[in-house]
Amino acid sequence: MQLTMFSQACDYGFADGCFNAGMLYLMGRAKTKFWEDGPHTQGLRLLEKCCDLDVAKCCSHLSGVYLSGKYGSVQRNLQYAFDYGKKACDLGDMTACSNVSQMYARGDWVQQNNKLALEYKERAKKLERDSKDDSFSMTFGQTS
């Protein structure tokens, strides 16, 4: 039931529907029909659709999936991990910026580049600071 609702939301261009349906497939909580691609392929396809809608968490998660290769039939792919991570960082995802920084520092798929590693590390730190500055606290029982 959840999968159907999320998939329909995705079909209508709601990124959270794509993300949630994709995660259900990747985590093995959704089954595919025998004529369809496997659940991991379906999950990746839905996350890619979400990333194409410029949603940072979708691109970041795709990067993580390819960086680790931990979901069933999904193979580790550092090129995809880098590309999705860079896009997620550009969209404001702190974790993705940190991962891209590490890839530059280590020379994972990209040529080792300490200058770019530091640049992405600083972007991650700025995003972390900004997220703390944007936090707010609610105060109850006060009137103006």
Per-residue pLDDT of the chain (144 residues), as tens digits, is 678 889 889 988 899 999 999 998 888 766 655 435 667 788 899 999 999 999 999 999 999 999 998 777 788 999 999 999 999 999 999 999 999 999 999 999 999 999 999 999 999 999 998 887 665 544 545 454
In a domain, 102, yes or no: yes
Residue 100: inside a domain: yes
Report how far residue 126's alpha carbon sits from residue 130's, in angstroms, rounded to the nearest whole number. 6
Q: Could you tell me which of 110, 33, 24, 128 has the C-alpha nearest to residue 67?
A: 110
Report yes or no on 140 lying in a domain.
no
pLDDT of residue 37: 60
- Residue 26's nearest CA partner among 64, 81, 82 is 64
139: alpha, beta or left? (left if phi > 0; alpha if psi -120 to 50):
beta
- What is the pLDDT, as a whole number, of residue 69? 85
The pLDDT assigned to 1 comes to: 64
User: What pLDDT was estimated at residue 79?
Assistant: 96
pLDDT at 138: 45
At 34 the pLDDT is 42
* CB-based contacts of 120-128 (< 8 A; 24+ apart in sequence): 120/89, 121/97, 123/89, 123/97, 124/89, 124/94, 124/95, 124/97, 124/98, 127/92, 127/93, 127/94, 127/97, 128/94
**Number of domains the chain is built from:** 1
Identity of the residue numbered 80:
Y
What per-residue confidence (pLDDT) applies to 45? 92
Q: Considering the domain boundaries, does residue 18 fall inside one?
A: no
Judge residue 132's burial from the number of C-beta atoms within 10 Å of its C-beta, 0-12 exposed, 13-18 middle, 19 or more buried: exposed
Task: Please indicate, yes or no, if residue 108 is contained in any of the structural domains.
Answer: yes
Is 109 domain-assigned? yes
Task: Check residue 81 and give its pLDDT.
Answer: 96
Query: In terms of residue numbers, what domain contains 117?
Result: 78-134
Residue 48 lies in a domain: no
pTM (two decimals): 0.83
Task: Write the CB contacts of 52 (distance below 8 Å, at least 6 apart in sequence).
Answer: none
